[in-house]
């Protein structure tokens, strides 16, 4: 979908699923604004079977092939209208060349949705562009023995017979890849005010210990980055192992292998929490700016270590530089090729870039810059050029040579 022709401002999703069968039925209502009266509305949508499409309540002409749902008609211009899609089937994650399968997937007993970067169409029709933010309402009906966790605030939970409907509302705009649904036999407990933890009963005690310092982490990051940008923050710990934790807006998902009862993976707790500022509230205008997500989250690991009695950021920066120095020097982190968007070198060099900038600006100016960054682009999207311009304003001088060397030259400065 071309953003200059259509923009989705709101997704209203009603889903019914049974983890035992893996089947899903959905009713998606999209609020759309068009800038062209007769251009086709192209939505990204995977392999689920489309049953009906309505525009403002009336049947519409549509085709669904090759991962695109094309809706035709004469649309109101610059005036919101609704597009409704009813669909059903067994969701399949979207297979990608570089990142494996992403999107709606089955756990041993439940569901995990990990859509970054292109998996959202596996479970709802959308504009699957990283900068295409919208508000969401997600209602999921599942067997009552399961707990459902999704983005936003739990607005209601209603049981009827053997099923329960969980309704979550996200008033802050969100990119489709950050929308998620987590279903499992979880206990849902309060870690601290506004902080939720969901884990199975047998894993809950270890999870409560491992995430026990998260409230302190939240206080430190609020001091350094500015106010937490959402109403709540939830963490889900699955009973399955995951290769890496998964970020979503207002929510993070950790595997059983990330909880050891010894806080052995606390740096990952910091990393995922930091994404709520860097990546979720301040989103990307385009994937080529991904160092703004991952470099900041990786640097937040160092900041938490420094503030919680671990090695200082300088010590960790020295270790990172030594590690990077022994790896191939062929990645421009400011504009990485698609295959390298999630390369660990991008994470580490992004963090090292920020630490070096901190040493040049000094702590007062550097953290003022970070707070200004999160405030200026709160719930919006941004680019590397935006960050460079703001950094130069705080530095009071040109930083073009600095950022060119760190972001756009392959060799480590």
- How does pLDDT run across 193-213, given as a tens digit for each residue? 999 999 999 999 999 999 999
Bridge partners, 63 (sequence order): 70
Mean pLDDT for 388-394 is 98
pLDDT at 4 over 70: no
- How far is it, in rounded angstroms, from Cα 26 to Cα 31? 16
Least confident of 67-76, 264-273, 303-312, 337-346: 67-76
Neighbours of 29 (CB within 10 A): 15
- How does pLDDT run across 57-77, given as a tens digit for each residue? 999 999 999 999 999 988 888
Contact status, residue 233 vs residue 250, Cβ threshold 8 Å: yes
pLDDT at 12 over 90: yes
pLDDT at 374 over 80: yes
Share of the chain above pLDDT 70, in %: 99
Contact status, residue 352 vs residue 297, Cβ threshold 8 Å: no
DSSP string over 316-346: HHHHHHHHHHTS-----TTS--GGGTT-HHH
pLDDT at 2 over 70: no
Which tokens is 394 given? 């705080």
- How does pLDDT run across 232-282, given as a tens digit for each residue? 999 999 999 999 999 999 999 999 999 999 999 999 999 999 999 999 999
Mean pLDDT for 301-308 is 98
- How far is it, in rounded angstroms, from Cα 268 to Cα 323? 19
**Average pLDDT of the chain to the nearest whole number:** 96
Query: Which residue in 155, 160, 128, 133 sits closest to 144, CA to CA?
Result: 160
Give all domains of the chain, ordered by start, each with its CATH number.
1-185 (2.60.40.1730), 187-276 (3.30.2010.30), 282-408 (1.10.390.10)
What pLDDT, on the 0 to 100 scale, is given for residue 3?
A: 44
Neighbours of 241 (CB within 10 A): 9
């Amino acid at each position: 979908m071309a953003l200059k022709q259509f923009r989705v401002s709101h997704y209203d999703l009603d889903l019914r699923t049974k983890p035992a069968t893996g089947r899903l039925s959905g009713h998606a209502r999209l609020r759309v604004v068009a800038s062209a009266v007769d251009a086709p509305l192209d939505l990204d949508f995977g392999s689920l079977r489309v049953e009906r499409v309505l525009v403002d309540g009336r049947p519409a002409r549509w085709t669904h092939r090759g991962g695109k749902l094309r809706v035709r008609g004469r649309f109101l211009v610059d005036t919101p209208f609704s597009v409704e899609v009813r669909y059903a089937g067994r969701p399949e994650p979207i297979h990608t060349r570089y990142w494996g399968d992403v999107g709606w997937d089955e756990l041993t007993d439940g569901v995990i949705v990990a859509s970054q970067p292109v998996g959202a169409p596996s479970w709802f029709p959308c504009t699957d562009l990283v900068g295409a933010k919208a508000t969401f309402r997600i209602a999921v009906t599942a067997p009552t023995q399961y707990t459902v966790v999704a983005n936003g605030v739990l607005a209601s939970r209603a049981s009827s017979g053997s099923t329960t409907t969980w309704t979550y509302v996200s008033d802050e705009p969100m990119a489709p890849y950050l929308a998620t649904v987590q279903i499992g036999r979880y206990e849902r407990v309060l870690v601290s005010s506004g902080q939720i933890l969901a884990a199975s009963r047998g894993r809950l005690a270890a999870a409560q210990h491992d995430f026990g310092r998260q409230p302190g982490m939240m206080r430190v990051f609020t001091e350094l980055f500015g106010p937490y940008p959402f109403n709540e923050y939830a963490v889900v710990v699955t009973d399955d192992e995951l290769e890496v934790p998964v970020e979503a807006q207002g929510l993070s998902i950790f595997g059983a292998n990330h909880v050891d009862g010894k806080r052995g993976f606390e740096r990952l707790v910091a990393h995922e929490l930091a994404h709520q500022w860097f990546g979720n509230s301040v989103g990307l205008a385009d994937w080529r700016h991904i160092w703004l997500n991952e470099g900041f989250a990786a640097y937040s690991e160092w900041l938490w270590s420094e503030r919680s009695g671990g090695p200082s950021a300088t010590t960790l920066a020295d270790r990172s530089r030594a590690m990077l120095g022994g790896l191939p020097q062929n990645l421009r982190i400011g504009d990485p090729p698609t295959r390298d968007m999630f390369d660990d070198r991008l994470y580490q060099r992004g963090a090292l870039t920020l630490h070096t900038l901190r040493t040049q600006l000094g702590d007062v100016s550097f953290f003022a810059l970070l707070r200004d960054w999160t405030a200026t682009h709160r719930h919006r999207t941004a680019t590397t050029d935006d960050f460079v311009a703001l950094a130069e304003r705080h530095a009071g001088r040109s930083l073009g040579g600095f950022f060119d060397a760190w972001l756009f030259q392959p060799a480590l400065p």
